[in-house]
């Protein structure tokens, strides 16, 4: 079984990225061939500062490796090191109905936020389909916000197979229900564009301040709270604390009498400890960027060998070359 996922280098990674995609991806390394990449071409649809893109790309590499991506088990590369993906985007694009792209939530959200739609933004899901299909991927671990993009990929692959004969593997999304949408500090989906993130490797003081600033209940701490499971701090605590600790806090909040400051302090402490090992690993890796660049170069070499074969199959199927 082949497992594939990608992350955009559009900023520092947050715990929504971690629980929604990185953690499942790291666990899935045991179950098949893992293909993981940094989607730098995709980041061009929202980020136009080259220096920032370069920095973010290395940061994502450090984050992913620190969180447990094992280059001995997995192929890890930079999307743009495999130019075949752009050619496949064209082949797929010629069969992709505009209506499918215009209905994409992520496209509609970006346009609603005032981003001027250009060709790249509309074609974003086609490039993502090319990412997935170019490596014969079976399983794509992602957060819920990417589900529709994987469905679009399935539609495009099916259309291609019907038009030109069996060429592509039809992939399945893998979405963990409990972390499908990790909430941010304001209760909306955690997202860099909402400014509500807790970074995986955030600065200690700044992150403590962010967590202590979570707006709590308008009820007094003493009042019982039958809806304690809906509390944002409890939901986040469940991600980073041992299950019985989180349950204990939830029960104390439900019963009434738990101080909100105490709850947030516990959330910060558990968050900090949860990523302590990864933080130490990240510091080591950051001091050894030659190693990180070597991993990406070796990953690109191995990914390209697969990509070249699949692209040749696709070109032959449609009578190109
Ligand atoms: P990106 O870079 O926005 O996010 C990376 C991964 O993190 C997940 N995620 C979340 N999961 C749960 N809760 C949240 N609050 C949350 N926020 C983000 C995302 O669902 C994603 O899995 N288009 C993709 C990158 C991409 C890709 C691919 C993914 C490009 N090509 C091919 C899979 C396969 C994106 O923008 O993810």
Let me know if 189 is a catalytic residue.
yes
Residue 21 corresponds to which tokens in the numbers above? Answer: 């995609």
255 φ, ψ (degrees, to nearest 5): -70, -25
Let me know if 110 is a catalytic residue.
yes
Domains recognised in the chain with CATH numbers: 2-182+289-317 (3.40.50.620), 202-274 (1.10.240.10)
- For every residue of 8-46, DSSP letters joined together read --SS--BHHHIIIIIHHHHHHTTTSEEEEEE-HHHHTTT
Q: What is the model's pLDDT at position 11? A: 87
Q: Which is higher by pLDDT, 295 or 193?
A: 295
- Ligand 1 pocket, 42 CB below 6 A? yes
Q: What is the model's pLDDT at position 160? A: 98
Q: Which of 23, 55, 108, 110 is catalytic?
A: 110
Local structure of 96: helix, strand or coil: coil
Each residue of 138-165: pLDDT tens digit?
999 999 999 999 999 999 999 999 999 9
Instruction: Give the pLDDT band (50/70/90) at residue 302.
Output: very high
Return the closest-CA partner of residue 12 out of 184, 145, 288, 200: 200
Each residue of 30-78: pLDDT tens digit?
999 999 999 999 999 999 999 999 999 999 999 999 999 999 999 999 9
Each residue of 18-37: pLDDT tens digit?
999 999 999 999 999 999 99
* Average pLDDT of the segment spanning 92-98: 98
Q: What is the model's pLDDT at position 217? A: 86
Pocket test residue of 136, 141, 142, 178 for ligand 1, highest count of atoms within 8 A of CB: 142
- Distinct helix (H) and strand (E) counts, the chain: 15, 5
For residue 6, how many other CB atoms are within 10 A of its CB? 23
Which atom of ligand 1 lies closest to the CA of 132?
Answer: 32
Q: What is the model's pLDDT at position 193? A: 86
Sequence-separated (6 or more) residues with CB below 8 Å from residue 188: 194, 196
């Amino acid at each position: 079984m082949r497992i594939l996922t990608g992350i955009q280098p559009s900023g520092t990674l947050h715990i929504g990225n971690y629980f929604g995609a990185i953690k499942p991806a790291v666990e899935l390394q045991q179950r098949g061939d893992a293909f993981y990449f940094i989607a730098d071409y995709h980041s061009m649809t929202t980020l136009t500062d080259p220096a920032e893109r370069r920095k973010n790309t290395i940061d994502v590499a450090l984050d992913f490796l620190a969180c447990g991506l094992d280059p001995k088990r997995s192929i890890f590369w930079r999307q743009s090191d495999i130019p075949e993906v752009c050619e496949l985007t064209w082949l797929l694009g010629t069969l992709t109905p505009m209506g499918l792209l215009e209905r994409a939530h992520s496209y509609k959200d970006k346009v609603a936020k005032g981003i001027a739609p250009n060709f790249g933004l509309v074609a974003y899901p086609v490039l993502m389909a090319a990412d997935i299909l170019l490596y014969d991927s079976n399983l794509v671990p992602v957060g819920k916000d990417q589900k529709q993009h994987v469905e679009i990929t399935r539609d495009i692959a099916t259309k291609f197979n019907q038009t030109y004969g069996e060429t592509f593997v039809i992939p399945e999304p893998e979405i963990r229900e409990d972390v499908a949408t990790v909430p941010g500090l304001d209760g909306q989906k955690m997202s860099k564009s909402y400014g509500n993130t807790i970074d995986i490797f955030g600065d200690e003081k700044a992150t403590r301040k962010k967590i202590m600033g979570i707006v709590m209940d308008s009820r007094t701490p003493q009042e019982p709270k039958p809806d304690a499971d809906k509390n944002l701090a409890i939901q986040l605590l469940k991600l980073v604390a041992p299950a019985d600790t989180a349950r204990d806090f939830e029960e104390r909040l439900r019963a009434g009498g738990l101080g909100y400051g105490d709850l947030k302090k516990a959330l910060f402490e558990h968050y900090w400890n949860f990523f302590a090992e990864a933080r130490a690993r990240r510091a080591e890796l950051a001091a050894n960027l030659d190693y990180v660049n070597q991993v990406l170069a070796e990953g690109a070499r191995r990914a390209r060998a697969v990509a070249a074969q699949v692209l040749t199959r696709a070109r032959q199927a449609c009578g190109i070359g």
